[in-house]
Amino acid sequence: MSLPFLPVLLWTDALLFALLAAAVAAGFYVRRREYLMLAWRRVAGDGLGMAAATVLALFLVVGLLDSLHYRSRLEGAGTVWSVEVESALDALAEPLRRQVEKTYSAPLADRLFSKETLERPDGSQVRDYPRLKWGAAHLSDPEAGLAGDVARRMVKGEAVGLVLWLLIVAAVTRTVARRESISPGEAWRRIRRRETPWAWRSVLLTLGVMLFLAAPLAALSGHYHVFGTDKVGQDVFFLTLKSIRTALVIGTLTTLIMLPFAAALGILAGYLGGWVDDVIQYVYTTLNSIPGVLLIAAAVLMMQVVIDNHPQWFATAAERADARLLALCFILGITSWTGLCRLLRGEALKLRELEFIQAARAFGVSPGGIMLRHILPNVMHIVLISLVMDFSGLVLAEAVLSYVGIGVDPNTVSFGTMINAARMELAREPAVWWSLAAAFSFMLALVLSANLFADSVRDAFDPRLRART
């Protein structure tokens, strides 16, 4: 029996799942080394860092769901597949995706945002706000029943969120009790007093806040446009969820591309010195002297010309948009490795003069062996800290580049494209503010949580900060 859908693996999907597999493998590697486990235990015990990690985990789940792509079978067409590439997130949010209005509508509204000429039953015409096709369509008299209906659904959503949170609290409490061989009551007391190795209280409080905000959204989104609609009537809440994957792809894949350049060239320049150091310094000094936006714009436009001249390379519009997204990741990675390279060069210059490096050289260890076995492990804390802290900068860079029109493909939903589409509507009277507000709020949550988690990782791995404490 054939599947009702055809799995589609985009390049960015493959790289995201490869990066996830590498992270799992790194977790097993860390578990076998106590000094690394000690640093990560510090991260797990930091309340603010674990709260940020909880928020990042939610964004990661949404991004991974949006990375499971497929093409549906056309009804009555046998083995003919649709040219539209969908994702698991599209299937889960099907009502949001299909409920498209005519144009703008405000959050939780029952009518369009602009007036139109309507025809009355008696044949006369009047200028009024027409009813939405989907939003509040289940209400016969929205003016009288909308506020009460919204309140009831919000209360039901909060009740479901509270039940889910209590179940999670019970599961965490039982897990802590079983792991530490204590009673559930004692485990809950330790969680409340922050006496557990993991900052479970911060995690549970963060989950509670997230469920408090998300449960009403889920309860209302099936019958209302909770964040309104955009110019072509698409649900802004759905577009915001779709933007998360783009931000994660930019933030993670770009760092993956940047890492080999920065690590290899930085360590080579610092350890070997001489003409190798001069050449590498010349390269990254030259790159830094070129305005970054101009360099990225030129590379993106050149790549776009290649994509436009070879349409036969792409079977669907999604593959075409994915190619531009991947190209943007490569371009950002190639142009943003210089900062980490400079840091690693300085650290390698210091390490090569230490006694254990001198001893390895005296025993005849090759330069390659010294760099791989002795220098690279001792600079990994800098690499890890830099990658985590660069993530938020890259997310913001995508938003800026898409805002000026040299970012992702127009068919790719991102925070930058949402902000770019909403900027002209702020001049309206009254202003269309909800698209910008939704994109800004979600991007702020992602970037802020990434920054807070980066601070926690830095505090745990930086030996100088640990020495001060």
CATH number, position 352: 1.10.3720.10
Q: What is the mean pLDDT of residues 37-45?
A: 87
Domain membership flag for residue 181: no
Domain membership flag for residue 109: no
Domain membership flag for residue 59: no
Which two three-digit tokens encode residue 51? Answer: 């709260």
Domain membership flag for residue 419: yes
Domain membership flag for residue 393: yes
How crowded is residue 290: how many other Cβ atoms within 10 Å of its Cβ?
Answer: 12
pTM: 0.86
Higher pLDDT, 168 or 180: 168
Could you give the number of structural domains in the chain? 1
Find, among 345, 343, 346, 304, the residue nearest to 326 by Cα.
304
Domain membership flag for residue 167: no
Per-residue CA distances from 129 to 104, 110, 169, 227, 304 (Å): 11, 9, 47, 18, 41
What range does the domain containing 304 cover? 236-468
Over the stretch 8-35, which tens digit does the pLDDT of each residue have? 888 888 888 988 898 888 888 888 888 7
Domain membership flag for residue 129: no
Mean residue pLDDT across the chain: 85
Residue 123 pLDDT greater than 80, yes or no: no
Higher pLDDT, 96 or 428: 96
The sign of the dihedral angle between the CA atoms of 12, 13, 14, 17 is positive
Over the stretch 290-332, which tens digit does the pLDDT of each residue have? 777 777 878 878 887 888 788 888 878 888 888 888 888 888 8
Q: Is the separation of the CB atoms in 250 and 329 below 8 Å?
A: yes
Give the alpha-carbon dihedral of 460, 463, 465, 469, to 10 degrees. Answer: 90
Of 115-129, 336-350, 455-469, where does mean pLDDT reach its minimum?
Answer: 455-469
Task: Give the Cα separation of 343 and 422 in Å (integer).
Answer: 39
Over the stretch 421-456, which tens digit does the pLDDT of each residue have? 877 777 777 788 888 899 889 988 998 898 888 888
Per-residue CA distances from 390 to 44, 71, 270, 320, 394 (Å): 21, 34, 22, 27, 6
Residue 6 pLDDT greater than 70, yes or no: yes
Find, among 128, 148, 129, the residue nearest to 138 by Cα.
148
Domain membership flag for residue 274: yes
